[in-house]
Amino acid sequence: MQKKFLLFAVFIVSFFLYATLRAESITIAAGAGYKRPIMEIAEKFERKTGNHVDAIFGHMQQIISQSRMTGQIAVLFGEKSFFEQSGINFVSYYPLGQGKLVLAWRKGLALKKISDIGSSAVTRVAMPDDRKAVYGKAAAEYLQKSGLAGHLGSKLLIVATVPQVSSYLQTGEIDAGFINVTDAIGIQENIGGYLPAEQSLYTPIFIEAGVVSGFEKQSVVRSFLKFMQDKDCIAILRHYGL
């Protein structure tokens, strides 16, 4: 009996060791405003395949710089125009959906239209850095074309990323802020609400997965890209407004 138990224990250890040795890792990076859906997809992929996903998030300039410096990131998620100007050689792109700019506001405040940010009830409005973050660029375009830019003055606060704006909204440190609809959906229970910005007033935002040259033949990368086309993954993206 003891011998059988020992053999069984050896079998179990060997099985898990074999599975561990077979498991592969992939490093991905995404704009910070897409952390929630990308992490949900990564966790599903890990559970289904046993492979490991290392995920990095930040504004677009950060993740592009990390990709160039480390040479370890296989797939980047973000706005395609940033990738095309990055100097990184991408072998293929996989469209995920169109990003949308929204104005969100803190609990305790009720805005009927985006132009209400010019009223005395709103004292601080935040947006991501337009030089580094795609939704900062979109917000800057929207404010300029809508004519609202001149009404904000010292009210306007520039931060690095979408999640920073979202964090300030949830803590009530700002009254309103420009973020993407994906992040707004993720924090909607902790804010007062949000409104979509008129899409004709900012450059269309196409969110794609870019595969970095040299990684396309790795089995774990091919497996991950195939998994991204699974109906459950598509449902996650649609849930978050993509």
pLDDT digits (tens, 9 = 90+) for 112-133: 999 999 999 999 999 999 998 9
102 DSSP β-pair partners: 179, 196
Kindly report which listed range (4-8, 38-42, 93-97, 177-181) carries the lowest average pLDDT score. Answer: 4-8
* Closest among 22, 18, 16, 11 to 49, alpha carbons compared: 22
pTM for this model (two decimals): 0.85
Please, what sign has the CA dihedral across residues 178, 180, 181, 182?
Answer: negative
179 Cβ contact partners less than 8 Å away, ≥ 6 residues apart:
33, 101, 102, 104, 128, 135, 162, 165, 166, 169, 194
Mean per-residue pLDDT for 150-176? 96
pLDDT for 154 beyond 70:
yes
Mean pLDDT score of the chain, rounded to an integer? 90
CATH among 3.40.190.10, 1.10.1740.10, 3.30.70.890, 3.40.50.300 for 2-99+206-239: 3.40.190.10
Please state whether beta strands 125-128 and 156-159 pair in parallel, antiparallel, or not at all (unpaired). Answer: parallel
Do the beta carbons of residue 161 and residue 188 sit within 8 Å? Answer: no
CATH among 3.30.465.10, 3.40.50.300, 3.40.190.10, 1.10.340.30 for 101-201: 3.40.190.10
Res. 12 pLDDT band, cuts 50 70 90: very low
101 Cβ contact partners less than 8 Å away, ≥ 6 residues apart:
135, 138, 139, 142, 178, 179, 180, 181, 196, 197, 199, 202, 205
Residue 2 is predicted with a pLDDT of: 54
